[in-house]
Amino acid sequence: MPRTGFCFTVLHRDTTTAARRCRLDTPHGAVELPGFMPVATLGSVKGLTIDQVRATGAQMVLSNTYHLALRPGERVVAELGGLHRMMGWTGPILTDSGGFQIFSLAHRTKITEDGAVFRSHIDGSEVAISPERAVEIQEALGSDFAMVLDHVVALPAEPELVRDAMERSIRWARRCRDAAGRADQAMLGIVQGGLDEGLRQRCAEQLVQLDLDGYAIGGLSVGEPPEQMYRIIEATTPALPEDRPRYLMGVGRPQDLLEAIARGIDLFDCVMPTRNGRNAMAFTADGPMRLRNARFERDDRPLEDDCPCAACRHSRGYLRHLFMAGEMLGPVLLSLHNLTFYQRLLSDARSAIAEGRFEAFHRERLTALGG
């Protein structure tokens, strides 16, 4: 189906790495890539108002199909004007399909060729998500980007299990494509295949034949060493089309983002900046800072001198005090700082690619981060 209001443009390519600077136009505005999406699982980024999220520099957010289908239900969201209006977010939204819950709720899930049957983590009731149902929910939510339903398995896993999940993911992707009915919602396929380069390339090639609007690499950052993840990204991205966005799902550390950009990835999401922020860890250009450490008790410096976020108007000592006293402001401020840090890192990466200096930027930032 022809999509309305979408356009993907490669603006610059780095000459020494696979990094690229792109622009993704959507019905709800443009996204400059490489870009990072804050995670708004249930329609909110934990602890932050939508204006605060926007102030971090975020251009696009991610919400979750499975969770929103349970609470408040996709029909309620639709009656409230769709996910954009309900959240108050005017920019693009991507919704994950529920495939990750096949992995994270494996003890509650039964997989068949038709789809996945869950036991709700809320009340234990039975919830069924097929490829067609995943599309139905996402179309009711009204997101700009819908993800196909995929089968994610924990790693390491038996080769036959990985192959079976990969092949099922391809079949489910075809069913999602065939079920799609909204011209104003783009659809992204998800490459599976574990840590097997051949399976990853085979999956990518078959998904490309479906002519989807973009492609994601899924099933990584689930416990494997970073070097293995980088190897799979490097083996997979050449099999993905140059004229579609490439999304690495659920990743990750600042070092991981830089390494993935160097290997041709355009888009990221991860709960790490907000989850770690709620647990007193601040990301900085010199590496993470654990503010419960006693050495920060009398430290009157900001987290970073040049950071414009609200947290950096205060001292490290004050931020530590908030956590030690159990004040809710501490998690809010560190969540703001960490999201701002991620957005600034990706903005700097875009500038470095456009100016032909990404290799040096990549090397310098990794050294400073200790990666």
Reported as a single tens digit per residue, the pLDDT across 55-98 is 999 999 999 999 999 999 999 999 999 999 999 999 999 999 87
Q: Rounded distance, CA 185 to CA 94, Å?
A: 10
The one-letter code for the residue type at 297 is E
Peptide bond into 72 cis (omega under 30): yes
Residue 4 pLDDT:
86
> Which residues are CB-neighbours of 99 under 8 A, at least 6 positions away?
147, 148, 149, 150, 151, 152, 169, 190, 218
Lowest mean pLDDT among 168-172, 222-226, 342-346: 222-226
Reported as a single tens digit per residue, the pLDDT across 256-312 is 999 999 999 999 999 999 999 999 999 999 999 999 999 999 999 999 999 999 999
Residue 127 pLDDT:
85
Residues 98 and 134 sit within 8 Å (Cβ to Cβ): yes
Q: In three state form, how does the secondary structure of 31-90 look?
A: EEECEEECECCCCCCCCCCHHHHHHCCCCCEEEEHHHHHHCCCHHHHHHCCHHHHHHCCC
Residue 148 pLDDT:
98
In the chain, the domains with their CATH numbers are 13-269 (3.20.20.105)
Residue 84 pLDDT:
98
Q: Rounded distance, CA 24 to CA 45, Å?
A: 22
Nearest to 309 by CA among 341, 275, 331: 341
Nearest to 145 by CA among 234, 86, 83: 83
Catalytic member of 14, 150, 256, 269: 269
Q: Known catalytic residue: 256?
A: no
Catalytic member of 96, 144, 150, 266: 96
> Which residues are CB-neighbours of 367 under 8 A, at least 6 positions away?
none
Nearest to 217 by CA among 193, 241, 198: 193
pLDDT at 30 > cutoff 80:
yes
Residues 41 and 74 sit within 8 Å (Cβ to Cβ): no
Backbone φ, ψ for residue 208 (5° rounding)? -60, -35
Burial of 42 (0-12, 13-18, 19+ CB in 10 A): middle
Residue 99 pLDDT:
76
Q: Rounded distance, CA 175 to CA 62, Å?
A: 23
Reported as a single tens digit per residue, the pLDDT across 86-114 is 999 999 999 998 777 776 776 778 899 99
Residue 126 pLDDT:
87
Strand locations in the chain (E): 7-13, 20-26, 29-33, 35-37, 61-64, 93-96, 109-111, 116-119, 126-129, 145-147, 186-191, 214-217, 246-248, 267-269, 281-282, 289-290
* C-alpha R_g of the chain: 20
Q: Rounded distance, CA 358 to CA 298, Å?
A: 38
Q: Known catalytic residue: 184?
A: no
Roughly what angle, to the nearest 10 degrees, separates helices 226-236 and 197-208? 40
- Please give the mean pLDDT across all residues of the chain: 95
Q: Rounded distance, CA 66 to CA 118, Å?
A: 10
> Which residues are CB-neighbours of 213 under 8 A, at least 6 positions away?
3, 6, 145, 186, 187, 188, 244
Question: What percentage of the chain exceeds 70 in pLDDT?
Answer: 98
Reported as a single tens digit per residue, the pLDDT across 133-191 is 999 999 999 999 999 999 988 888 899 999 999 999 999 999 999 999 999 999 999 99
Residue 103 pLDDT:
67
